[in-house]
């Protein structure tokens, strides 16, 4: 095998493949990158037993062939800059030469016993194309879905997936406390179906796509989800089973709605998050006389804040009281802040979830059951002092 390639092109391909490296290690599938020189390009591939990625790099191929290199060794070639001549030698190693400096690394012996047929194959049927989307939007949504499908305390081995529903044009993630629904309004839908995406897809695609701004095609069959662009193809195993009827838990009506200044509530929530993280105490929200008050009470600290920048419809003149989890609420507000949105808050009562919506995002947050029934009186007393 022999080819000529720019060092930047080689580094980009290896970095994309590294997204799947170190996720799993077995004697059968060590931390290796498979390199195959075709007649007109080079394909770098990794299989970690649950995911496969194939990255196509531009190169001038002199002699076709393939080999398997341990990732730790292959990084030695990345220190050689410029236009590289890369080739395998008789002593079972790869040599990269730019005319002035040489890089060398050993290849994996007995490759034929490690690389099974179809180990790195990604076989896709055109009929399984379900959607086309811009990579930037896809990465954004997947990041939020991973955060909302799994709490910060979730064991990596027990992380939950999220639903891609092209029938109702939604992507949905939930963890029992929060629900995120993103309406894929601008996606080109080719086929109506639904599938449960594995959580690994978010981190892997972030590292594979990196800063590339391109369109990607999403394919789904009975076992796998595939994501393809011009220079890479990715496959991950779907989560099997039925996803809950998410639309049944999103309230369609509300007793009142309010728009609250995002910056103002974020400042308060960041303080409350620090105060509540040790004692796991709830945050209280009270609406009264068309005003909004937030409060938190711990053994050593009591505080009440008045939200000044608020507008809405049917804001209660009589007391409306609800308990919320400050860290979870902060996560919801940060999503809207990052997207430059100012959500409408919708409330029913103290036992029903709060719904926030703006743009294509709908977030549902379950309330915290209130045990301190004197909290409302404490808030009034502190406000009047």
- Tens digit of pLDDT for each residue in 319-335? 788 888 888 898 899 99
240 lies in some domain? yes
Strand 320-324's sheet: what is its strand order? 302-307, 291-297, 283-288, 320-324
Same-domain pairing of 44 and 91? yes
CA distance 302 to 361: 33
Q: Which of 106-115, 138-147, 356-365 has the lowest mean pLDDT?
A: 106-115
From residue 172, alpha-carbon distances to 136, 142, 175 in Å are 18, 10, 11
> If you average pLDDT over residues 196-202, what whole number do you get?
91
Q: Are residues 285 and 355 in the same domain?
A: yes
Whether residues 351 and 255 share a domain: the answer is yes
Distance between CA atoms of 365 and 250, rounded to whole angstroms?
10
Judge whether 150 lies within some domain.
yes
Q: Does 237 share its domain with 270?
A: no
Determine, yes or no, domain membership for 331: yes
CB 300 within 8 A of CB 337: no
On average, the pLDDT of the chain sits at 85
Does some domain include residue 373? yes
pLDDT of residue 370: 74
Top pLDDT among 193 and 211 is at 193
Rounded CA-CA distance 267/18 in Å is: 38
Last residue of a domain, one of 227, 247, 267: 247
Structure confidence at residue 236 (pLDDT): 94
pLDDT tens for 166-190 read 999 999 999 888 999 999 988 999 9
Co-location of 187 and 69 in the same domain: no
Q: What's the mean pLDDT in 133-144?
A: 92
Do residue 108 and residue 52 come from a single domain? yes
Give the range of the structural domain holding residue 269, as residue numbers without chain letter.
251-384
What are the angstrom distances between the C-alpha of 48 and each of 19, 21, 42? 10, 7, 20
Stretch among 237-241, 261-265, 379-383 having the lowest mean pLDDT: 379-383
* pLDDT over 90 percentage in the chain: 42
Distance CA 48, CA 119 (A): 10
| CA pair distance 355, 337, nearest whole angstrom | 16
Distance of CA 248 to the CA centre of its chain: 24
Q: Are residues 259 and 380 in the same domain?
A: yes
pLDDT mean over 91-119: 75
280-309-333-323 Cα dihedral, nearest 10 degrees = 30
Query: Does the pLDDT at position 156 exceed 80?
Result: no
68: which 2 tokens? 């398997």
Q: What is the mean pLDDT of residues 65-80?
A: 85
Q: What is the CATH number of the domain that holds 332?
A: 3.10.150.10
Residue among 34, 84, 33, 42 nearest 63 (CA): 42
Domain end (from 192, 220, 247): 247
> Does one domain contain both 95 and 158?
no
Structural domain contains residue 121:
no
Residue identified by tokens 């009591």 is: 302
Tokens of 357: 């919506």
Q: State which of 226, 247, 268 marks the end of a domain.
A: 247
Comparison of pLDDT for 163 and 113, the residue scoring more: 163
284-305 pLDDT, tens digit per residue, is 888 877 778 888 876 666 777 7
Do residue 232 and residue 286 come from a single domain? no
263 and 371 inside one domain: yes
Sign of the CA dihedral running 77, 80, 83, 87: negative
Judge if 243 and 260 occupy the same domain: no
120 within domain boundaries: no
pTM attached to this predicted model: 0.86
**Helices and strands, counts by H and E, the chain:** 8, 27
Within the chain, residue ranges assigned H as helices are: 7-17, 71-74, 111-114, 135-149, 200-209, 262-276, 326-338, 375-384
256 and 231 in one domain?
A: no
Number of domains in the chain: 3
DSSP annotation of 144 reads H
């Amino acid at each position: 095998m022999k080819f000529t390639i720019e060092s930047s092109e080689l580094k980009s391909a290896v970095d994309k493949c590294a997204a799947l490296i170190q996720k799993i290690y077995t004697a059968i599938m060590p931390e290796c990158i498979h390199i195959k020189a075709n007649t007109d390009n080079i394909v770098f591939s990794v299989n970690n037993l649950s995911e496969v990625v194939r990255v196509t790099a531009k190169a001038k191929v002199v002699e076709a062939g393939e080999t398997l290199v341990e990732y730790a060794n292959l990084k030695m070639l990345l220190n050689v800059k410029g236009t590289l001549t890369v080739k395998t030698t008789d002593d079972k190693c790869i040599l990269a030469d730019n005319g002035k400096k040489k890089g060398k690394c050993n290849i994996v012996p007995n490759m034929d016993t490690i690389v099974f047929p179809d180990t790195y194959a990604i076989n896709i049927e055109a009929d399984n194309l379900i959607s086309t989307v811009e990579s930037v939007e896809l990465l954004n949504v997947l990041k939020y879905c991973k955060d909302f499908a799994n709490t910060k305390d979730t064991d990596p081995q027990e992380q939950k997936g999220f639903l891609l529903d092209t029938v109702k044009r939604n992507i949905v993630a939930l963890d029992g406390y929060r629900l995120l629904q993103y309406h894929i309004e601008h996606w080109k839908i080719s086929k109506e179906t639904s599938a449960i995406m594995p959580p690994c897809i978010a981190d892997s695609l972030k590292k594979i796509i990196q800063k590339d701004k391109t369109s990607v095609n999403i394919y789904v069959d009975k076992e796998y989800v595939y994501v393809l662009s011009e220079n890479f193809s990715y496959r991950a195993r779907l989560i099997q089973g039925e996803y809950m009827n998410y639309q049944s838990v999103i309230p369609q009506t509300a007793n009142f709605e309010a728009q609250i200044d995002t910056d103002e509530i974020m400042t308060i929530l960041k303080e409350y998050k620090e105060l509540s993280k040790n004692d796991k105490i709830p945050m209280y929200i009270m609406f009264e006389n068309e005003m909004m008050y937030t409060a938190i009470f711990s053994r050593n600290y009591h505080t009440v804040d008045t939200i000044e920048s608020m507008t809405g419809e049917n804001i209660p003149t009589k007391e409306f009281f609800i308990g919320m989890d400050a860290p979870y609420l902060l996560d919801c507000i940060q999503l809207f802040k990052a997207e430059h949105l100012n959500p409408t808050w919708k409330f029913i009562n103290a036992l029903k979830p709060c719904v926030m919506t703006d743009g294509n995002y709908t977030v549902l947050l379950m309330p915290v059951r209130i045990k301190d029934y004197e909290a409302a009186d404490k808030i009034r007393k502190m406000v009047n002092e």
